[in-house]
Structure 1
Amino acid sequence: MLIDFSSRPPLPEFQKSAPHLANYRRVYNASETASAAEIGPDAFADYLASYDAVDARHIVLKARDLETTFGFKISNDDVAHLCAAHGGRFIGFAGVDPHKGAAAVEELRRAISELGLRGLNLQCFEHRLKPNDPLLFPLYETCLALDVPVNIHCGINFSTASLMEFGRPAYLDEVATTFPDLRICASPPGWPWVQELIALAWRHRNLHIGIVSVRPSLLTRPHAGYEALLVYGAKVLKDQIIFGTGFPMLPVARTVAELDALPIPPEVRHKWKYQNAATFLRL
């Protein structure tokens, strides 16, 4: 069984072009080409079939509202529509623009209470905010009040229109300390500050690490910078690791195969692939 914690379907409303992410297309060119090779002429049907092949029970979709900073949006309504059309297979996270203040809080409430979305997605580098920026605290408070988790982008970003610093894991320490009951997933897993993120997850049981948009094989590659995730993730953090392909940034079949090949006990693999996400999402 599998829950993919991050995926973008091959549909126009999810595959919009964004000039501020142009450098991502260079960095992920090879893996996105491999993803395209998995998808045939009937793109969405082939996309669903690729998940059937790996026994994916749920796929997490994430909206984004970057209108203030980049004039870009994947709407909560589009995410909710796709979730509703597929009988619970898709789980939607809301995207709101923190720079809109009270309107962002109201949109988050609407997305959860009226649209049925199940969490909040914050790509902080796209908002040009650190995760502990005061603008975000009303959103964290609202997540607690609505009992939904938050996904926070963590680690390097490849957008040269924003700063790497916005993804530094250390800023999550204040968030997790201030909101000890808030379910937080930091994804991707913090590179090049992987050990910093591991230390925070060890400190804070409410902080999960998302191995998302990162080839699992890198966890076994010397000097790649991800090796500590395998060491700690198989033991003290075994209940705090969540997996996501990040499709189309990584192809589904190859990425799941690499996860299955990792030298971890079967019970730990089950936690990474399914159980931790199920618990995090309250399924």
Structure 2
Amino acid sequence: MFVDFSSRPPSLQLDGPASHLSNYRRVYEGTERQVTHGGVSEDPLAAYLATYERLNARHVVLKARDLRSTFGVRISNEDVAAFCRQHGERYIGFAGVDPHRGELAVEELETAVRELGLRGLNVQGFEHKLAIDDPLLFPLYRKCVELNVPVNIHCGTNFSTQVSMMFGHPAALDRVMVALPELRVCASPPGWPWVQELLAVAWRHPNVWIGTVAVRPKLLATPHSGYEPLLQYGRTILKKRMIFGSAFPMMPVEKALAEFDSLALPDSVREDWRCNNALEFLGM
């Protein structure tokens, strides 16, 4: 059993051309090709649902995104909530709102949680052209504390050549946690090339988890990859705060799990990364 903290069904696509992500297709070409050409089903959604059924997923986290002010596209809260309602309790939705909309964004977050049943907030700062500690984000963070829901925050570099990579620097997350220690945060992807800095933030702040999302798990055991400290700290002092995510369709779910299961982790720690830590982060 496992929780996949990052997955996007074939039926939940950005509602317009995502030109700012074109360089991602180059970076992830190899693993995305395995998803595109690796199956025989004529129905991608049916294959997607069957994969999680076959692998006995406990939960799968789906994330809305609202980039109307910056790139003119979104995956709406309503669509994510409808998918979760239709396909059952296995699927958990996180809201996406546009921080540039100010108080309207805060109201949309509250509606998404209280009325649509979404379970957290997704902040992809580079897509909003905002650093993690930008003042526009703090009303949303405070609303998450009020609603007692967690937030997923993009941390580390991004591969969009239209925005700065510095929007994801983990030092900004440290400043957020100093101001709002009650906020529950999963930093994902896991901080590269500032992995050590993110580990320091998580060590300092007990409400920070790290999601190994959008990175091949085998890189955590690959010398000189820059990801190796995640494995060292993730099986010792931070073993209760590491969360697995496949980032499908960037990588096939089964391949991500197979690479993760090959890592040198004690069985109890492996189960924490696979499932238990995510359940605690989600308040479940």
TM range (shorter): over 0.9
- Tell me what 2:187 maps to: 186
Q: Secondary structure at the match of 1:68?
A: coil
Q: Which stretch has the larger CA shift, 254-263 or 5-14?
A: 5-14
Find the aligned partners of 1:251 and 1:160 in 2 and give their Cα distance.
Answer: 25
Whole-Å separation in 1 of the counterparts to 2:2 and 2:12: 25
Task: Give the TM-score of the pair, scaled to structure 2.
Answer: 0.97
Whole-Å separation in 2 of the counterparts to 1:16 and 1:271: 37
Residue pairs, 1:239-278, within 5 angstroms = 239-278=240-279
**Would the alpha carbon gap of residues 51 and 258 (structure 1) be closer, same or farther in structure 2, given more than 3 Å must change?**
same
Task: Name the structure 2 match of 1:44.
Answer: 45
- Give unmatched runs, 5+ long, in structure 1: none
Q: Is the Cα contact below 8 Å between 1:13 and 1:78 reproduced in 2?
A: no
SS in 2 for 1:73: strand
C-alpha root-mean-square deviation of aligned residues, in Å?
1.1
What's 2:78 paired with?
77
What is the CA deviation profile of residues 86-133 of structure 1, one whole-angstrom value per residue up to 9, with x for unaligned ones?
221110000000000000000000000000000000000000000111
Partner of 2:102: 101
TM-score normalised per structure 1: 0.98
| Letter of the 2:277 counterpart | N
Aligned residues: 283
For 1:26 and 1:229, the matched residues in 2 are separated by 25
User: Would you say the 8 A contact 1:8–1:15 is kept in 2?
Assistant: no
1:23 is matched with 23
Partner of 1:137: 138
Asked whether the 8 Å contact 1:217–1:262 carries over to 2, the reply is yes
Q: How many angstroms apart in 2 are the aligned matches of 1:109 and 1:72? A: 21
1:12 and 1:181, CA in 2 relative to 1: closer, same or farther beyond 3 A? closer
Alpha-carbon deviations, 1:20-79, whole Å to 9, x = none? Answer: 100000110111001123442121111112222322111100000010011011000000
Q: Is the 8 A contact 2:64 2:94 kept in 1?
A: yes
Identity, % of aligned positions: 59
Distance 1:226 1:64, change over 3 A: same
* Aligned-partner Cα distance in 1 for 2:172–2:58: 33
Aligned-pair distance for 1:178? Answer: 1.0
Give runs of ≥4 in structure 1 deviating > 3 Å: 12-17
SS of 1:61's partner is: strand
Structure 2, unaligned runs of 5 or more = none
Structure 2: distance between partners of 1:134 and 1:85: 36
